[in-house]
């Protein structure tokens, strides 16, 4: 097997910083969020969104609660320009929402950007130029001073056009693109030059956005860079420090979280991490990470299925089934041990009432993001009896007792192995009825009446109930009357006397299915033959006594039919 040629790559340089403070910090409040779905996410699509699709996505982002939304690159394409104009002309931007538009630091592009913004209430003009070593040397073939001058000239023109527009609600954002590939001291130098040209103040704050345009290091080194920047930038209280992380190394969320711990005020990202190459920061994941720690993310993901639906429709992209919080399978357990732990945790939460969420394998309550409990446990060849019992209780109200769970679990496991696929809840319910409730061979009940004595019995073993039954066995009627200390005892005595079967009731449980006045009852019974063999049965009826008698007959039929478990 050939080895990878890793020697061609160089390690990312560490930051010379002492006394770093971010490792001891905790995120206690949400950062300022900016959605870039309609720009960075859109430009990364094989088929970019139409104006109508962009409008639908914009409305979704507003509903989620974003107050800053980067809506596009209006100087880059006609669709982008038309979309910005439509938002403004049709008054689709709420008063508390600011749109952000991107432009390169080139004169004709900046002027077209301001044409697109004519009549806007409030906006952020996001200016960028690449400052990285490799871009300077290979792409532009310019020195540091030349690249800095591009940023300064672009900033000057933005300021002049803002002043000419008379719109004091136009704000300014600058990004030294490819910040991760730019020397720290140079990124700071360019940012200071831009700030000086813009003229920052408490009332005119500038957004300095530091993008990991390509994720090149572990998250801790990026956090060191952000803390260094926060320490060294001038007029820190007049600067909103923003980060825009990508996911090339698979740590875009961690990088953004540590950057906030290191001092960043603002985070740019996209729903489900959509964006160039491996994508951007997944705002859904970061926001729900905060929620799982008791911090209000100030974004509303309480209807995640709807958000997924609009996203997939608008972008034509899919969401991985294992995507944190959002994937189809993230709240689902197939493993038997996981299912058992989840089932017990859910019961404990229910018993405890209003308490802190603490269920094994579920970092958040699926209902908080609009997901149902029905998909938490799903049954395949890896599943166990606890998962089967959870589905029967959660979906159908059958509280299968522990002593019955191995029996029914074995039935399900056999069918799953035989079919080689996942079994749905309705199929599990049907199998339960086939195995226990609808088992009418060799004995079936044709008639049953129960009579109780008027007086209360003085002892538990006192005969106080008489039962009259007619059973059918392969077309032959068996009629009997028997007495016992209750309906089950009387029925067992009668069956033993008239069939020759020798058995006793070993376990019994019953409960109502549902809570209405006309709800039915289910009984579960385990019987034991004189020879030591067990059999389990179940019965359902509106009368609990008849349900119990049916359960005994179910268990007898399973012995007689030689159904092995």
Where are the domains positioned within the chain?
20-315, 336-434, 443-560
Per the CB < 8 A criterion, the answer to whether 284 and 326 are in contact is yes
**Ranges of H-type helices in 205-281:** 219-232, 252-261
Q: What angle do CA 167, 98, 63 make, to 5 degrees?
A: 150
Does residue 464 surpass a pLDDT of 80? no
Question: pLDDT value at position 305?
Answer: 93
DSSP 355-378: ----BTTBSS-GGGGT--GGGSB-
Both tokens of residue 167? 């719109």
Give per-residue pLDDT as tens, 444-457: 999 999 987 655 55
Question: pLDDT value at position 455?
Answer: 53
At residue 420 the predicted structure's pLDDT band, cuts being 50, 70 and 90, is confident
Q: Which of 73-77, 246-250, 340-344, 465-469 has the lowest mean pLDDT?
A: 340-344
Full-model pTM? 0.78
Does residue 564 surpass a pLDDT of 50? no
User: Which of 304-308, 351-355, 408-412 shows the highest mean pLDDT?
Assistant: 304-308
Dist. CA 135–CA 270, nearest whole Å = 25
Does residue 477 surpass a pLDDT of 60? yes
Of 3.30.1120.130, 3.20.20.70, 1.20.58.390, 3.90.230.10, the CATH number of 20-315 is 3.20.20.70
At residue 384 the predicted structure's pLDDT band, cuts being 50, 70 and 90, is low
Dist. CA 365–CA 358, nearest whole Å = 9
Which of 61, 178, 175 has the alpha carbon at shortest distance from 126?
175
Q: Looking up tokens 């990088």, which residue turns up?
A: 255
Question: Which fold does the domain 336-434 belong to in CATH?
Answer: Helix Hairpins (1.10.287)
Dist. CA 227–CA 126, nearest whole Å = 23
Give per-residue pLDDT as tens, 137-146: 998 899 999 9
Does residue 280 surpass a pLDDT of 50? yes
Does residue 546 surpass a pLDDT of 70? yes
Calculate mean pLDDT across residues 357-386: 78
Work out whether the CA dihedral 245, 251, 257, 262 comes out positive or negative.
negative
Does residue 562 surpass a pLDDT of 50? yes
Instruction: Give exposure, 301-328, as e/b (b: 16+ Cβ within 10 Å).
Output: beebeebbebbeebbebebeeebbbbee
User: Which of 41-50, 118-127, 129-138, 320-329 shows the highest mean pLDDT?
Assistant: 118-127
For the chain, percent of residues with pLDDT exceeding 90: 70
CATH code that applies to domain 443-560: 3.30.160.270
Does residue 381 surpass a pLDDT of 60? no
Give per-residue pLDDT as tens, 106-134: 999 999 999 999 999 999 999 999 999 99
Calculate mean pLDDT across residues 148-163: 97
Calculate mean pLDDT across residues 52-76: 97
Which of 427, 348, 438 has the alpha carbon at shortest distance from 392?
427
Dist. CA 243–CA 223, nearest whole Å = 11
Dist. CA 181–CA 433, nearest whole Å = 65
Dist. CA 527–CA 506, nearest whole Å = 5
At residue 565 the predicted structure's pLDDT band, cuts being 50, 70 and 90, is very low
């Amino acid at each position: 097997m050939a080895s990878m040629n890793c020697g061609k790559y160089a390690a990312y340089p560490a930051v010379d910083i002492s006394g770093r403070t971010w490792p001891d910090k905790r995120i206690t409040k949400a950062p300022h969020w900016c959605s870039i779905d309609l720009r960075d996410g859109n430009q990364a699509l094989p088929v970019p969104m139409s104006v109508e699709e962009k409008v639908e996505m914009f409305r979704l982002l507003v509903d989620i609660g974003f107050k800053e939304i980067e809506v596009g690159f209006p100087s880059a394409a006609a669709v982008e320009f038309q979309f910005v104009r439509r938002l403004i002309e049709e008054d689709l931007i709420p008063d508390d929402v600011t749109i952000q538009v991107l432009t390169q630091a080139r004169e004709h592009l900046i002027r077209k950007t301001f044409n697109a913004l004519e009549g806007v209430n409030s906006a952020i003009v996001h200016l960028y130029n690449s400052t990285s070593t490799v871009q300077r040397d290979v792409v532009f073939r310019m020195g540091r001073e030349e690249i800095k001058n591009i940023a300064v000239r672009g900033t000057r023109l933005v300021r002049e056009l803002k002043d000419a527009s008379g719109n004091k609600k136009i704000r300014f954002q600058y990004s030294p693109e490819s910040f991760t590939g730019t020397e720290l001291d140079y990124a700071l130098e360019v940012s200071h030059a831009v700030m000086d040209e813009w003229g920052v103040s408490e009332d005119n704050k500038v957004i300095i956005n530091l993008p990991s345009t390509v994720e090149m290091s572990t998250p801790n080194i990026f956090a060191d860079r952000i803390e260094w920047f926060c320490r060294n930038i001038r007029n820190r209280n007049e600067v909103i420090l923003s980060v825009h992380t990508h996911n090339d190394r698979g740590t875009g969320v961690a990088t953004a979280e540590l950057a906030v711990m290191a001092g960043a005020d603002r985070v740019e990202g996209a729903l489900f991490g959509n964006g160039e190459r491996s994508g951007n920061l997944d705002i859904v994941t970061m926001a729900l990470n905060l929620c799982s720690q008791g911090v209000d993310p100030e974004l509303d993901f309480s209807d995640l299925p709807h958000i997924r639906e609009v996203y997939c429709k608008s972008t034509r992209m899919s969401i991985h089934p294992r995507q944190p919080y959002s994937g189809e399978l993230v709240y689902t357990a197939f493993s038997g041990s996981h299912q058992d732990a989840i089932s017990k945790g859910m019961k404990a939460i229910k018993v405890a009432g209003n308490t802190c969420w603490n269920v094994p394998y579920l970092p958040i309550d699926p209902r908080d993001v609009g997901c149902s409990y029905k998909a938490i446990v799903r049954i395949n060849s890896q599943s166990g009896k606890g998962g089967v019992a959870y589905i029967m209780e959660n979906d159908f109200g059958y509280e299968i007792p522990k002593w019955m769970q191995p029996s029914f679990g074995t039935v399900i496991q056999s069918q799953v192995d035989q079919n080689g696929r996942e079994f749905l809840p309705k199929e599990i319910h049907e199998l339960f009825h086939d195995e226990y409730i609808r088992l009418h061979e060799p004995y079936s009940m044709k008639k049953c009446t129960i009579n109780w004595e008027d007086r209360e019995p003085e002892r538990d073993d006192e005969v106080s109930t008489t039962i009259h039954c007619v059973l059918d066995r392969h077309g032959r009627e068996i009629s009997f009357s028997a007495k016992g200390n209750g309906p089950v005892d009387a029925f067992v005595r009668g069956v033993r006397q008239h069939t020759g079967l020798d058995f006793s009731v070993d376990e019994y449980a019953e409960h109502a299915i549902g809570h209405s006045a006309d709800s039915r009852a289910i009984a579960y019974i385990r019987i034991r033959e004189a020879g030591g063999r067990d059999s389990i049965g179940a019965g359902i009826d509106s009368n609990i006594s008849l349900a119990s008698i049916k359960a005994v007959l179910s268990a007898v039929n399973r012995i007689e039919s030689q159904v092995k478990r």
